[in-house]
Amino acid sequence: MNQSDLQPKLNQANQYFNQQEFSKASQLYLQLINENPQLKSNLSIRLAHCLILEANWQQISGNLIQGINYLSTSGWLNSLFQGKPVNAESKPIPWYTYPAIEFLEDKIKPDSIVFEFGGGNSTLWWASKAKQVISIESDQSWYDQIKQKMPDNVQLNLEIDEKKYADFINQYPDQYFDVVIVDGINRNNCLETSLNKLKHNGLLIFDNTDRYEYDKSINLLLSLGFKKIDFYGLIPSYTYKNCTSIFFKSTEILETTNLPSNKQSCLGKSCMQITNPRIGNIYNKSINDAALKNKKILYSHHWSINNQRQPILSENEIYITSTPQQKENVINLLHIGSEYEPQKILKQHQNDWQPDLFIAKVDSFFNVIPRNIQALNCPKVLILGDTQHGNQPLEKMIQYAKSEKYDFYITDHKRHHLWYYHLAGLKNLYWLPGLFLNPLIDNSESQNFEDPSISPNLFKDKVIFVGQASKFHPRRKAILEYLQKEIPNFWYGRLSQKDSLKAYSQALISLNISLNGDLNLRFFEIISSGGFLLTDRLSEESGMNLLFSEGEEYETFSNVQQLVDKVKYFLQYPELVEQYKQKAYQKYLNNYTPKHLAEQLQNIMEGKPVNDIFTVKTINRIKYLSGQGYSQSRIQIYQIIQDFHKYSEKLKIFVDNDNQFCHIEDFLDLPRVKIYLSANSNYLKNELYQYLLTSKTLHAIELLNDKYNNSYDILIVSKLILDIFLQGSKSEFLIISQDQSGLSNIRDFIENNYNGFTINVTQYIDFLAIHVNRENVTKNNVTGNLKLTNTNYLITPDWQSDEETLTEELYNLISTLAHNSPLSKGDSEESNPNIEREDIITLVIDTTGITEEDANLFLSGIAMNLMMEEELDLESILNFTFIDNLEESQWQKILPKITAKITLNSENQDIVNNKLFDDVISIMADGNNYVIMPDWSKDEQDLFNTFSEILINISSEEKATLLIDTNNSNEEEVGLFVSEVVMTLMLEKGIELSEGINVNFVKFTPTQWHNLEGFIKEKIISG
Q: In the chain, which stretches have pLDDT less than 50? A: 279-290, 443, 778-782, 827-837
Q: Which residues does 470 contact at the CB level (< 8 Å), separation at least 6?
A: 477
**317-325 own/partner pairs: CB under 8 Å, 24+ apart:** 318/346, 318/350, 318/353, 318/355, 320/345, 320/368, 321/368, 322/367, 322/368
Integer Cα distance of 770 and 521 in angstroms? 35
Enumerate residues 6+ apart whose C-beta is below 8 A from 306. Answer: 325
Paired with 130 in beta bridges are none
> In this structure, are residues 770 and 761 in contact, taking their beta carbons and an 8 Å threshold?
yes
Q: Is residue 254 classed as helix, strand or coil in its secondary structure?
A: helix
| 3-class secondary structure, 345 | helix
Tell me what pLDDT residue 4 has.
62
Helices (H), 229-301: 271-275, 290-293
Asked whether the whole model's pTM tops 0.85, one would answer no
**Terminal-to-terminal C-alpha distance of the chain:** 108
**Bridge partner list, 369:** 339
- Cα 840-845-849 angle, rounded to 5 deg: 170
- pLDDT tens-digit map of 532-567: 999 998 888 888 889 999 999 999 999 999 999 999
Neighbours of 391 (CB within 10 A): 10
| Residue 251, pLDDT score | 87
CA distance 985 to 995: 15
- What's the rounded Cα separation, in Å, for the pair 79 and 322? 64
Name residue 899's amino acid: T
The residues, any chain, with a CB within 8 Å of residue 638's CB and separated by 6 or more, are 394, 420, 666, 667, 669
Amino acid in the structure at residue 614: F
Three-state secondary structure readout of 392-421 = CHHHHHHHHHHHCCCCEEEECCCHHHHHHH
Q: Which residues contact 325 (CB under 8 A, 6 or more apart)?
A: 304, 305, 306, 332
Q: How many CA atoms lie within 13 A of 383 on its CB side?
A: 23
Identify each DSSP E strand in 208-240 by its residue range.
Answer: 227-234
Sheet containing strand 132-137, edge to edge, reads 154-158, 132-137, 113-117, 177-182, 198-207, 241-248, 227-234
What's residue 1017's pLDDT? 84
> Tell me, what DSSP letter sits at residue 569?
H
Q: Are 75 and 88 in contact, with CB atoms under 8 Å apart?
A: yes
